[in-house]
Amino acid sequence: MSFLLKEIFINDKDRIFSDTAGDQNICSTLRLLENLNMFPKYWALDNEMNSYLFFEPKTVREESLDWPLIFFLEGKAYRVIFSDLICEELRFDNNYKPSASDKDLVQNKIVEALSVYGRYGTGNFNDKGQPEYAVKPIFKED
């Protein structure tokens, strides 16, 4: 199976909270987003691999153009940062880097998920059905 763009429902949120329960930082951020009614509406989901990706909305206005994403694969959560949405550069949050042996797989799966999720988490097409929001991320090495 591959990634599909899906709406996030209540039972999906329960799954996400369960999956990220071991990561206090991500889990508490997601709980805050839920309490503020800012939880993402869509995710790129691969049920077969229990893998998904979604934007982590910012709860405060920042000067930074960074856009964080949460990516979950094989029982592990990763925080990935878009340097900005225009240049399409991605980097792993320093606390969420994959091991050297997992790096290629994780990066490839993130690219695959983003190919469905699109630039804004609403897919690759505008409201007229024309391709407009596709993203081709480039991982930046630290």
The token pair that represents 121 in the structure block: 């988490």
Q: Three-class SS of residue 10?
A: helix
Q: How far is CA 43 from the centre of its chain?
A: 7
Query: Which DSSP helix (H) or strand (E) runs through 8?
Result: none
What are the tokens at 125? 């097409």
Q: Are 30 and 8 in contact (CB under 8 A)?
A: no
Say if CB 73 and CB 51 are below 8 A apart. Answer: yes
The winner for highest mean pLDDT among 8-12, 92-96, 135-139 is 8-12
pLDDT at 67 over 90: no
Neighbours of 25 (CB within 10 A): 13
Confidence bin at 57 (pLDDT 50/70/90): confident
Overall number of domains in the chain? 1
Per-residue confidence (pLDDT) for residue 35, from 0 to 100: 94
Report pLDDT digits (tens) over 100-138. 999 999 999 999 998 888 877 777 666 776 656 667 777
Residue 1 binned pLDDT confidence (cut-offs 50, 70, 90): low
Whole-angstrom distance, CA of residue 52 vs CA of residue 113: 7
Which structural domain range is residue 69 located in?
Answer: 4-139
Query: Is there a contact between 90 and 138 (Cβ–Cβ < 8 Å)?
Result: yes
More confident residue, 113 or 63: 113
* Confidence tier at 79 by pLDDT (50, 70, 90): very high
